[in-house]
Structure 1
Amino acid sequence: MNRRKGIFLVITGAIFWGIGGTVAKKLFDEYQIDVNWLVTTRLLIAGFLLLAIQFFRADRSQIFDVWKNRQTAFHFIIFGLVGMLSVQYTYMASIEHGNAAVATLLQYLAPVMIIVYLLLRKLTVFTRTDMWTVTLALLGSFFLLTNGSVSQLSVPATAIVWGVLSGIALAFYTLYAVPLLKQYDSLVVVGWAMIIGGFALGFIHPPWQIDIETLDLEAYLYLIFVILFGTMVAFWFYIESLQSLQPKESSLLGSMEPLAAVLTTVFWLKEPFGIFQWLGVLCIIGMIFLLAINKGSTSQDPPTINEKPLITES
């Protein structure tokens, strides 16, 4: 029963992540929601909700313990600004300039970036799995972004730049989170990271600065979905799935996120996708499955992007 519950949670969470990005695109295009405002609002609300969940759990003292040590507090601030805020903002900016499918798939290049980083630092060796991973990622990106034609890009260059930056930010986020997650519960780490990132971006675009007269009931429902389901609930479900599933299984099932983003972008937002772009989608999803299946095969293997609890948008 626990295993079935874990499978349900991780699949539901991944689907929420993928759909959340598509819904955000709807808000950008039809309601002219500012990306700065949306990132600020979703980070602050989701962060406070995650800490509220932790408050009603056994070890609530962790919520404030993180600020008792100066070095730990500094690491949390770096993680919140360079990790969480960068991941959220670059991902949303890529969606705003392009679409949720391309943004999500580009963000899933993060494992390749982690492999390259570990190779440069001589912390791992280049394996056959790494070779296939890099090949699938590069081939998939080429088909996805060019639709098989080198003469023109199928998505705006700005969206590609933000998407690649999102992958880099996610790679940093994954690596930097490891020591923090060894000391504190995941809800505490990510909850505070969201609040720090949202508070910092709030100086540029405060969450109360929005013209509510331009929003109708449908827009508010979209906002609720992005903030609660596409951010807070998706993360919470993924965390809970790790209680009854192996990380490898959660990572594998988490690949439903880019699939959900692609399907909702194509069939709900009616974004055109060419045959070569579909081939690119298959290549990148194949890369994710390959990483998930081979995860943990050796102690030197790099972590995958879902090996630690993450919030994308995805």
Structure 2
Amino acid sequence: MSKQARGIWLAAGGAALWGASGAAAQYLFEQTPVTTAWLVAVRLLVAGGILTAVSWHRNPLHLRELARYRWAWWHLLGYSVLGTLFSQLAYFLAVKASNAATATVLQYLQPVLIIIWVALASRKWPRRIDNFSVLLALLGTFLLITDGHPGSLTLTPLALFWGLLCAVAAALCTLLPVRLLKHFDTLAVSGLAMLVGGILMLPELFLTPWPHLTWFAWLMVAYVVIFGTLLAYTMVLASLNYISPTATGILGAFEPLLATVMAVGLLGTRLTPAMVVGSLLILATTFLQALPVDLNPFGRLRAKHHH
């Protein structure tokens, strides 16, 4: 297998595992007493602990170097709370309030939010391709949440609220760790961010009775933590050794694709033609923003979110 083919399989496979974790979470929320806070706590603690241990095993200097600087710990805490923990909670709450397909697609509004942020921060009007991306995203969101009928909503206000917060959280996951990732190892930063977020959720595990689950439900929990978080993130990160970040970003479209296929095919989620078109328009903004750097307003700001 060539290096390029290996990178493509890793990126697409990792994104697909992420997407399937959304469908697994939807099953848990619909069929079991698992709560969003409990699932987030378990996911972040286990995945964050393992990633941090792997980082330490590979090169202890990466973690020691990060621990030397006080500014790094403040940045890491902000990224852990406002990025990693916030994105996990917002995504799973959106899945619970709607479904995996809708939550994952709405999360992909993040490029639009970053376009707006970059324009405000630089005090420059967005370029044509950016304006076109925003229009596509707005039209797609309109179709997704109204089914093309003004005055009616296919989502509850709560589902729409958490879905839009998914996009905000994904944008923060892209913007907040920029300085950290310039100075420190990606695996160390991501592992510690998850671990710190999980530690902050420890009261949920201590104060809330653990749910009584069937063996299949426990398998779904294990999938979300191991395959949908730990393995998915590792595969996407490894793909960058073989293909460009642009290609990895484009192949990330497998995440909402698989989440939609599994939600519709296995969980009975209903999507109308207008909602499907709206979802495709939103995803199209990701492809536009994954164009070569000379056409890309983000430059080095793009970083893969992980939920």
Residue 297 of structure 1: aligned partner: 294
Percent pairwise identity: 33
Opposite residue 66 of structure 2, the aligned amino acid is: V
Residue 277 of structure 1: aligned partner: 275
Stretch of structure 1 that moved more, 37-46 or 173-182: 173-182
Shift of 1:266: 0.9
Q: Are residue 239 (structure 1) and residue 237 (structure 2) matched?
A: yes
Trace 1:1-314 onto structure 2 (pairs within 5 A): 1-57=2-58, 59-122=59-122, 124-203=124-203, 205-206=204-205, 209-212=208-211, 214-292=212-290, 294-298=291-295, 301-302=297-298, 307-312=302-307
Q: Do the aligned partners of 1:18 and 1:259 also contact (CA within 8 Å) in 2?
A: yes
Opposite residue 40 of structure 1, the aligned amino acid is: A
Q: 1:211 to 1:47 in 2, by over 3 A?
A: closer
Q: Do the aligned partners of 1:41 and 1:207 also contact (CA within 8 Å) in 2?
A: no
Runs of 4+ residues over 6 Å off in structure 1: none
Q: Do the aligned partners of 2:147 and 2:275 also contact (CA within 8 Å) in 1?
A: yes
Q: 1:51 to 1:216 in 2, by over 3 A?
A: same
Structure 1 unmatched ranges of 5 or more: none
Opposite residue 306 of structure 2, the aligned amino acid is: I
Shift of 1:56: 2.8
> C-alpha deviations, 1:27-61, integer Å up to 9, x for none?
0110020100000110010001111222232x322
Q: Do the aligned partners of 1:295 and 1:303 also contact (CA within 8 Å) in 2?
A: no
SS of residue in 2 equivalent to 1:243:
coil
Opposite residue 251 of structure 1, the aligned amino acid is: G
Opposite residue 177 of structure 2, the aligned amino acid is: A
Name the TM-score, length of structure 2 as normaliser. Answer: 0.95
Opposite residue 210 of structure 2, the aligned amino acid is: D
Q: Do the aligned partners of 1:25 and 1:96 also contact (CA within 8 Å) in 2?
A: yes
Q: Distance in 1 between matches of 2:190 and 2:248?
A: 18
Q: 1:175 to 1:137 in 2, by over 3 A?
A: same
Q: Distance in 1 between matches of 2:73 and 2:304?
A: 20
Q: Distance in 1 between matches of 2:224 and 2:174?
A: 22
Stretch of structure 1 that moved more, 90-99 or 150-159: 150-159
Q: Distance in 2 between matches of 1:70 and 1:287?
A: 37
Q: Distance in 1 between matches of 2:300 and 2:286?
A: 8
Q: Do the aligned partners of 2:289 and 2:297 also contact (CA within 8 Å) in 1?
A: no
Stretch of structure 1 that moved more, 60-69 or 129-138: 60-69
Q: How many residues align?
A: 306
Shift of 1:295: 4.1
Structure 2 unmatched ranges of 5 or more: none
Name the TM-score, length of structure 1 as normaliser. Answer: 0.93
Q: Do the aligned partners of 1:145 and 1:155 also contact (CA within 8 Å) in 2?
A: yes
Q: Distance in 2 between matches of 1:279 and 1:81?
A: 34
Q: Distance in 1 between matches of 2:209 and 2:65?
A: 35
Q: 1:163 to 1:304 in 2, by over 3 A?
A: farther
Shift of 1:68: 2.3
Q: Distance in 2 between matches of 1:134 and 1:182?
A: 28
Q: Do the aligned partners of 2:233 and 2:306 also contact (CA within 8 Å) in 1?
A: yes
